[in-house]
Chains A and B, each alone.
Chain A
Amino acid sequence: MGVGKSCLLLQFTDKRFQPVHDLTIGVEFGARMITIDGKQIKLQIWDTAGQESFRSITRSYYRGAAGALLVYDITRRDTFNHLTTWLEDARQHSSSNMVIMLIGNKSDLEARREVKKEEGEAFAREHGLIFMETSAKTAANVEEAFINTAKEIYEKIQEGVFDINNEANGIKIGPQHSPASGGAGGSRPRQQADSGGCC
């Protein structure tokens, strides 16, 4: 039983929930078009395996990611406890500008909750992350989780934190759709769905 990264991605890209999901082997790719600030943006999302045995592979996906979703399961405290190591891993292998969103998933299972929302908020505050509780099953906050992360990246682009001409940070300017728009026509930030351990 994972924390639900693949289910979050499936909900975001296909708008459906798959109660029984195969274990992710290595990584899987997903993409979706969104609109921010009137601009079409294609999110390229890599869904990584949470299993410890894939850690060396999934590590390769930090470099060149503009954002990451760090996911734990609110019904299992151990997944929350693992956050620190995952966060260290992410910080160590990624660019310092990477936007990290902390996600407490499975908010539909309120009866089995082991991690309070306040704890998640506190962890996020302490480490400078954005925080949100989601449910891949009911789709609650799933859109927001991805889109808010993208918005944060977008703002960083606007502020000039990300150099959009350097593809190494995972952002690419797409073909300009309207010549009048100017600026970033369609940037494609890459995001990585990452996990707070699932053993």
Chain B
Amino acid sequence: MNYFKSFVKGNEEAQPTGTETVARLCDRISSSTLLEDRRDSVRALKSLSKKFRLEVGSQALPHILQLLRSDASDEDICSYSLETLINLTTVEDDEEGDTIIQSEFAMSFIEKFIDTVENIMLVLEMIERYDFTVRWSAIRLLTSLLRGKPSVVQQTILVQPMGISRIMDLLSENREVIRNEALLALIELTRGNANIQKIVAFENGFEAIFAVINEEGFCDGGVVVEDCLMLLLHLLKNNSSNQQFFKEGTLIQRLSPFFDISPESSWSAQKNANIHLMLKVIRTLVSPSNPSNFLQSCQLAMQQCNLLAKLSDLLMATGVPTDVLTEIINTVSEVLRGSTENQHVFANVMAPWEPPRSALVVLLMSMVNSQQPFFLRCAVLYCFQCFLHKNATGQSQIIDTLLPSSLEPHDVSSGQLLCGGLFAQSDTLSNWLAATALSHALHSNEPAKCQLLRVQLATAPGNTPVTLLRQLTSIIQQTTHLQTRIGLLNLLCCWLSNCPIAISHFLDDESTVPFLLSQLAVSGNDRDLLVNGVCALLLGICILDNDGSITHYSKESLIELVDARVGVENFCDTLGCVSQHDLYAKALQKHQPTSDTPRNLLFDYSFAKLFKALEDKITKTVSNLEDIKKEEEVKAAMKAHDSIITEYKTLIREQDSKVAKLQSKCAKLEKDVQETESLLKDRDSQVQQLKDQYNLMKLTQGDDSSSTMKQIQDLLAENNKKSEELASNAKRIKELENEVEKYVAIANEHSPMQDKIKDDCMENGVSEENESFDLKHYKELEDENKKLTKEVEECQESVRRLTESEVLNTAKIQEQILICDAIRKEQEDLLILLSDQETKLKDYKQKLANLGEEVSDDETDSIGEDEVVDDENSPSDQ
């Protein structure tokens, strides 16, 4: 206020000068014809604009706007004008005087300025000017306008064609100052405006950002890298489309080089800031609230590009500032959460220690170490929680380390560390953290809950070992520390829920129920009441999931006890204490366990979830004892009913199985029938074929034999004929021989005569004539004789030939008869086969009938008929 007074007072004295000077300058701007004059005036205005913000702001704006249009070509005038506007729209922290009032002036001026859309467009035009000072001033003016009235300016730029592109282009400016200013402008431009964020991403914003980060030297780069990361964060935060684009553009891989940090490197504040922002970028991509598909592929990409490995290395490195380390642990947690593959990779990360220890064990050491900073310890719990989220194998492995095993005695296991934390005497935060961590090893894992029941503790040398469950209950009863008590109670709630065996173990300890009931009646402040609330929850769980195996603490008897001791209504109110508490509401908001102070760390997300799920159920169950009893009765009735139903069910099941069997049998039989039918058909066709063959054979055989017969007959006839011929020929030969003999006799008679004649002739020629006549006659006879002889020979020849052919024919006939015999035999075989087939057929039919398949009479008949027809046909064919 002092300054305001002095300002007002000063105004009173300087008012004529201040206002007048501004008025005079404005007048000169509008009226002077000399460029120099206008330039000087606006320069003067600029220098006055800080001190006389109100005067300049109220009078000069129209003149400056006029100047920017009319003297746009003069770089100095433009830059002075823009600088004046910047002075009017910004309030610097180190400015003297009341910054609140100054800010109000600045805001009202901004409102006045952006009231006209053309003014913003004018600034955008100035950004396109190449001159350094003009462009530089224009981009700074835009930033301050955006800071003042973001939504209006954003909306105006958004609808300007190329509005965003013009600013994006500045990211590739080689004049770094302008590029850096453009980054600042873009940070403001993208703040909370998804549409602009998407356009910036579309305009290769991510690439441009990475280019700058690269150029500036990644995490060792200065504030410019911080600005880049801030812009990156704006583009990705709450913008699933851009996140998708980022992932699809394989840009996650580009984040990896950022964590190539040598262990010896120094850790400046700037580097810390840069790394913090980069971790925020990563956590934006793997935030538990992201859609699971997207989240998983991001987690996997981070593992595959070695980002997870680099972060794990940093976890184990020395010299990393605690705040950075804490944030790295939180980031690693979310990269692991629910990703089986990443969890597996992380389980194998070893700390570079001697001997090497698993990173998980090293982290747990920090968690249960009271010397470590609170937030770091919370981060380790978160990491442990995320590592075990949907990781049944990991959970079992943790539980296994608590069971007696072949573990080397000097080796530190996570189980040992957790137990150490659970029972640490002077560190209640350790108790709470270890209890919560252990509850994550049990979460939704019934076998692990049962396994944990086996854990025995050696409390002191010489003492008999005591179960973990009993040790926990006794500590809960003995401790005076709220945080320890609530932590252990939380663990018990998680352990006992959905695990009737654990409940019966718990109830078996005589002291537990009385303690819980007495605790419900204790009064105290709101924090103490939280203990009562959690006790009520634990009792509620014992009621809800009670299997009745501890008879005196059955469901009903517990409710009756509660009612008798504290009253049902009171019990429900006590339960309600938790859900009404701030700490509970806070825990429910975030997966990551956080708290402003260590002592306020009483609930975590999964406990709050459990509570939320059970509160209503417990209230209903407890307040309806009558109902429960009725329910029990109904249940008993139902049980009886159930047993009947079960009987019926078994009956039905049996019948079902029978039906199924029969169905399958039936199907088999049907198949058999089909097969048999097809076999029958085959056989039928075979029979038919055979019959046809038989007929055909009969026919051909008949033909054969008849033709052979005929041939034989023909041959015989021929034979006879030839024989006759032969006989006639022989007869003739005989005749001819007789004749020849006659002639020979005649000749012999004649020969003496002949000789005489010859002699006579020799004597006288008279007889010569006679002689010649005789000779002639003789010759003739001789010729005839020759002819006849020849004929006889011919006849003999033909007889021989005929005899030959007869022999041949006889052989042929013999052959035919043989063939005939063979065919007959074959025929007989076929007939035997046929009768075989028929008996088989009859068998099949019989079988079919036996199997229950109806074999219609038609079938038998038709088969019979066929046979009859065939039989009828056969002779006619023959």
Collect the chain B residues with CB atoms within 8 Å of residue A30's CB. Answer: 244
A46–B202 CB distance below 8 A: yes
Counting chain A residues whose Cβ lies within 8 A of the other chain, the interface size class is 20 to 34
B245–A60 CB distance below 8 A: no
Nearest chain-A residue to B163 (Cβ)? A60
B159–A27 CB distance below 8 A: no
Instruction: Assess A63 versus B165: contact at CB under 8 Å? Given A56-B158, A57-B195.
Output: yes
The 8 Å CB contact of A167, one of B199, B207, B241, is B207
Q: Does B289 contact A (CB under 8 A)?
A: no
B194–A26 CB distance below 8 A: yes
Q: Mark A20-45, 1 if CB is under 8 A from B, else 0.
A: 00000111111100000000001010
Please, how many angstroms separate the alpha-carbon atoms of A129 and B194 in the complex? 32
Q: Does B248 contact A (CB under 8 A)?
A: yes
Q: Mark A168-185, 1 if CB is under 8 A from B, else 0.
A: 100000100000000000
Instruction: Assess A56 versus B159: contact at CB under 8 Å? Given A64-B204, A167-B204, A167-B207.
Output: yes
Min Cβ gap A92→B in Å is 9
Q: Does A125 contact B (CB under 8 A)?
A: no
B199–A60 CB distance below 8 A: yes
Q: Mark B158-202, 1 if CB is under 8 A from A, else 0.
A: 111110110000000000000000000000000000110011011
Q: Does A91 contact B (CB under 8 A)?
A: no
Nearest chain-B residue to A33 (Cβ)? B248
B241–A61 CB distance below 8 A: no
Min Cβ gap A22→B in Å is 13
Please, how many angstroms separate the alpha-carbon atoms of A103 and B794 in the complex? 110
Min Cβ gap A13→B in Å is 10
Q: Does B755 contact A (CB under 8 A)?
A: no
Q: Does B203 contact A (CB under 8 A)?
A: yes
Collect the chain B residues with CB atoms within 8 Å of residue A61's CB. Answer: 199, 202
B203–A64 CB distance below 8 A: yes
Collect the chain B residues with CB atoms within 8 Å of residue A25's CB. Answer: 194-195
A60–B244 CB distance below 8 A: no
Q: Quick one: which of A125-180 are within 8 Å of B by CB?
A: 167-168, 174
**Residue from B162, B202, B242 with most neighbouring chain A CB atoms (10 Å):** B202
B202–A60 CB distance below 8 A: yes
Q: Does A59 contact B (CB under 8 A)?
A: yes
Nearest chain-A residue to B204 (Cβ)? A167
B158–A57 CB distance below 8 A: yes
The 8 Å CB contact of A31, one of B159, B164, B248, is B248
Q: Mark A76-103, 1 if CB is under 8 A from B, else 0.
A: 0000000000000000010000000000
Please, how many angstroms separate the alpha-carbon atoms of A139 and B852 in the complex? 53
Collect the chain B residues with CB atoms within 8 Å of residue A59's CB. Answer: 161
Collect the chain B residues with CB atoms within 8 Å of residue A42's CB. Answer: 248
Please, how many angstroms separate the alpha-carbon atoms of A30 and B248 in the complex? 9
Q: Does B765 contact A (CB under 8 A)?
A: no
Q: Does B263 contact A (CB under 8 A)?
A: no
Q: Mark B630-660, 1 if CB is under 8 A from A, else 0.
A: 0000000000000000000000000000000
A60–B164 CB distance below 8 A: yes
Q: Does B257 contact A (CB under 8 A)?
A: no
The 8 Å CB contact of B195, one of A26, A93, A167, is A26
Nearest chain-B residue to A93 (Cβ)? B161
**Residue from B158, B159, B241, B248 with most neighbouring chain A CB atoms (10 Å):** B248
Q: Does B249 contact A (CB under 8 A)?
A: yes
Collect the chain A residues with CB atoms within 8 Å of residue B201's CB. Answer: 29
Min Cβ gap A102→B in Å is 23
Nearest chain-B residue to A192 (Cβ)? B202
Collect the chain A residues with CB atoms within 8 Å of residue B241's CB. Answer: 27-29
Please, how many angstroms separate the alpha-carbon atoms of A93 and B198 in the complex? 18
Please, how many angstroms separate the alpha-carbon atoms of A42 and B244 in the complex? 13
The 8 Å CB contact of B165, one of A29, A56, A60, A167, is A60
Q: Quick one: which of B241-262 are within 8 Å of A by CB?
A: 241-242, 244-245, 248-250
Please, how many angstroms separate the alpha-carbon atoms of A28 and B242 in the complex? 8
Instruction: Assess A31 versus B245: contact at CB under 8 Å? Given A26-B195, A57-B159.
Output: yes
B245–A44 CB distance below 8 A: yes
B195–A44 CB distance below 8 A: no
Nearest chain-B residue to A56 (Cβ)? B159
Min Cβ gap A191→B in Å is 12
Collect the chain A residues with CB atoms within 8 Å of residue B161's CB. Answer: 56, 59-60, 93
Min Cβ gap B442→A in Å is 37
Please, how many angstroms separate the alpha-carbon atoms of A26 and B241 in the complex? 11
B245–A27 CB distance below 8 A: no
Collect the chain B residues with CB atoms within 8 Å of residue A93's CB. Answer: 161
Nearest chain-B residue to A59 (Cβ)? B161
Min Cβ gap B296→A in Å is 16
**Residue from A31, A46, A59, A60 with most neighbouring chain B CB atoms (10 Å):** A60
Nearest chain-A residue to B164 (Cβ)? A60
Collect the chain A residues with CB atoms within 8 Å of residue B204's CB. Answer: 64, 167-168
Min Cβ gap A14→B in Å is 10
B165–A44 CB distance below 8 A: no
Please, how many angstroms separate the alpha-carbon atoms of A106 and B335 in the complex? 42
Min Cβ gap B201→A in Å is 8
Please, how many angstroms separate the alpha-carbon atoms of A46 and B194 in the complex? 14
Please, how many angstroms separate the alpha-carbon atoms of A2 and B202 in the complex? 23
A26–B244 CB distance below 8 A: no
Collect the chain A residues with CB atoms within 8 Å of residue B194's CB. Answer: 25-26
Q: Mark B87-118, 1 if CB is under 8 A from A, else 0.
A: 00000000000000000000000000000000
Q: Quick one: which of B601-631 are within 8 Å of A by CB?
A: none
Please, how many angstroms separate the alpha-carbon atoms of A154 and B666 in the complex? 62
Q: Mark B15-29, 1 if CB is under 8 A from A, else 0.
A: 000000000000000
Please, how many angstroms separate the alpha-carbon atoms of A174 and B248 in the complex? 12
The 8 Å CB contact of B198, one of A27, A31, A167, is A27
Collect the chain A residues with CB atoms within 8 Å of residue B162's CB. Answer: 60, 63
**Residue from A26, A28, A63 with most neighbouring chain B CB atoms (10 Å):** A26
Collect the chain A residues with CB atoms within 8 Å of residue B248's CB. Answer: 29, 31, 42, 44
Collect the chain B residues with CB atoms within 8 Å of residue A28's CB. Answer: 241
Please, how many angstroms separate the alpha-carbon atoms of A59 and B162 in the complex? 9
Nearest chain-B residue to A46 (Cβ)? B202
Please, how many angstroms separate the alpha-carbon atoms of A63 and B160 in the complex? 14
Please, how many angstroms separate the alpha-carbon atoms of A19 and B89 in the complex? 50
Collect the chain A residues with CB atoms within 8 Å of residue B250's CB. Answer: 174
Min Cβ gap B489→A in Å is 45
Q: Mark B140-171, 1 if CB is under 8 A from A, else 0.
A: 00000000000000000011111011000000
Instruction: Assess A26 versus B198: contact at CB under 8 Å? Given A60-B165, A64-B203.
Output: yes
A57–B199 CB distance below 8 A: yes
Please, how many angstroms separate the alpha-carbon atoms of A42 and B241 in the complex? 16
Min Cβ gap B284→A in Å is 16
Please, how many angstroms separate the alpha-carbon atoms of A89 and B854 in the complex? 80
Please, how many angstroms separate the alpha-carbon atoms of A60 and B158 in the complex? 9
**Residue from A42, A57, A61, A93 with most neighbouring chain B CB atoms (10 Å):** A57
Please, how many angstroms separate the alpha-carbon atoms of A93 and B248 in the complex? 26
Collect the chain B residues with CB atoms within 8 Å of residue A31's CB. Answer: 244-245, 248
Please, how many angstroms separate the alpha-carbon atoms of A63 and B163 in the complex? 12
Please, how many angstroms separate the alpha-carbon atoms of A60 and B249 in the complex? 20
Please, how many angstroms separate the alpha-carbon atoms of A28 and B195 in the complex? 10
Please, how many angstroms separate the alpha-carbon atoms of A26 and B200 in the complex? 13
Q: Mark B673-694, 1 if CB is under 8 A from A, else 0.
A: 0000000000000000000000
Please, how many angstroms separate the alpha-carbon atoms of A57 and B241 in the complex? 15
Measured CB to CB, the residues of A under 8 A from B are 25-31, 42, 44, 46, 56-57, 59-61, 63-64, 93, 167-168, 174
- With A56-B161, A57-B199, A60-B199 given, can you name 13 additional A-B contacts, CB distance below 8 Å? A27-B195, A28-B241, A29-B198, A29-B245, A31-B244, A42-B248, A56-B158, A56-B159, A57-B158, A60-B202, A61-B199, A167-B204, A168-B204
Measured CB to CB, the residues of B under 8 A from A are 158-162, 164-165, 194-195, 198-199, 201-204, 207, 241-242, 244-245, 248-250
16 sampled A-B residue pairs with Cβ under 8 A: A26-B194, A26-B195, A29-B201, A29-B241, A29-B245, A31-B245, A31-B248, A42-B248, A44-B248, A57-B158, A60-B161, A60-B162, A63-B162, A63-B165, A64-B203, A174-B250
Minimum-distance CB pairs A-B, first 4:
A31-B248, A56-B159, A29-B241, A26-B195
